[in-house]
Structure 1
Amino acid sequence: MTEFTERTLMIISEIPKGKVMTYGQVAYMAGSPKAARQVVRILHSMSEKYHLPWHRVVNKKGEIALLSDDAKMEQITRLEAEGITVQQGVINLEEFQWMLE
C-alpha cells in the first residue's frame, strides 16, 4: 500500500459524525493536492474492507457525486442521520465541512 493510500485511509477514517470533507481536500491533506480522483478510487475499492465513513466525502461543490440513484439515497440517508442537511443533493460546506488542524 502506498503512503498516499495509507494517509488517505487515516484521514477519511477520522472524519467525525456530522461533518464532511471533499475529495480534493482529502487528497491535499494526504500529500497530493491533484489526486482527488485517486481518493475516489480508494473509497470505491477500500471503504468496505477498512470500514470507512465513505458517505462523509463529497465533491468540491458539496454535491453527492455518486451516479447510482440507490447509492445517492444511501449517502443522503446516512448524512441526514448524522444531522447533516442535504438539499437537492448538496451539503452546505460552510456549515458541515471538517477542517483538520
Structure 2
Amino acid sequence: MSEQSLPEDTRGGYADELPEYAERVLEVAEGIPPGRVMTYGDVAEWLEEGGPRQVGRVMALYGGSVPWWRVVRADGVLLPGHELTALDHYRTEGTALKEASRAAQGHLPRLDMKRARWDGGADSGAHT
C-alpha cells in the first residue's frame, strides 16, 4: 500500500479510547470533592500504580474533561499557564489558599495543602 492511499488517521478507533490507566486517573480526579485537592502523587498512591509523572501526563493529555484543578503539585503552586483559571475555580469552590505575602506582591496565592488536601475518605467538605 502506498503512502498516498493510507487513511489520514491510521490509529483506527484508538483516538476515542482512553488507556485503562488514564480512565482510572480521570475517575479519581472526578471523585475529588469541590474545595479539596489531591497531588499527582496522591492519585498514583490511591491507584497503587504509576507515579506523579504518569498522573501528570494523563492529566496533561486527557484532563480537560474533568476538574483538573483538583489534581495539583505537592508544593501548592498553581499550574503554570492555567493559574488564573484554576484560581477562579478554587475561589468559587472555597478551596483553602495561602495568600501571597506583601513581599511577594503581584504573586499568586498557593494552595494551603494542609487544609485543602483530600485523602479520599468520607470527608467531602471544603476546609475553611
TM-score normalized by the length of structure 1: 0.81
1:85 Cα deviation after fit: 3.3
Moved over 6 A (4+): none
Matched, 1:84 2:69: no
Conserved? CA contact 1:19–1:56, under 8 Å: yes
1:2 Cα deviation after fit: 4.0
The aligned length equals 95
User: Residue 41 of structure 1 corresponds to which residue in structure 2?
Assistant: 57
- Cα offsets for 1:63-95 (capped at 9, x unmatched): 21x222xx1111111111101133233111221
Q: RMSD in angstroms over aligned alpha carbons? A: 1.6
CA distance in 1, matches of 2:43, 2:70: 11
TM-score normalized by the length of structure 2: 0.66
- Percent identity at matched positions? 29
Structure 2 residue matching 1:84: 3-state secondary structure: coil
Structure 1, unaligned stretches of length 5 or more? Answer: none
Alignment of 1:18-33 (within 5 A): 18-32=35-49
CA distance in 1, matches of 2:119, 2:26: 16
Conserved? CA contact 1:4–1:31, under 8 Å: no
CA distance in 2, matches of 1:28, 1:99: 10
1:3 Cα deviation after fit: 3.8
Pair member with larger Rg: 2
Structure 1 residue matching 2:114: 3-state secondary structure: helix
CA distance in 1, matches of 2:63, 2:23: 13
1:32 Cα deviation after fit: 2.2
Matched, 1:93 2:107: no
Structure 2 residue matching 1:67: 3-state secondary structure: coil
CA distance in 1, matches of 2:33, 2:43: 14
Matched, 1:55 2:72: no
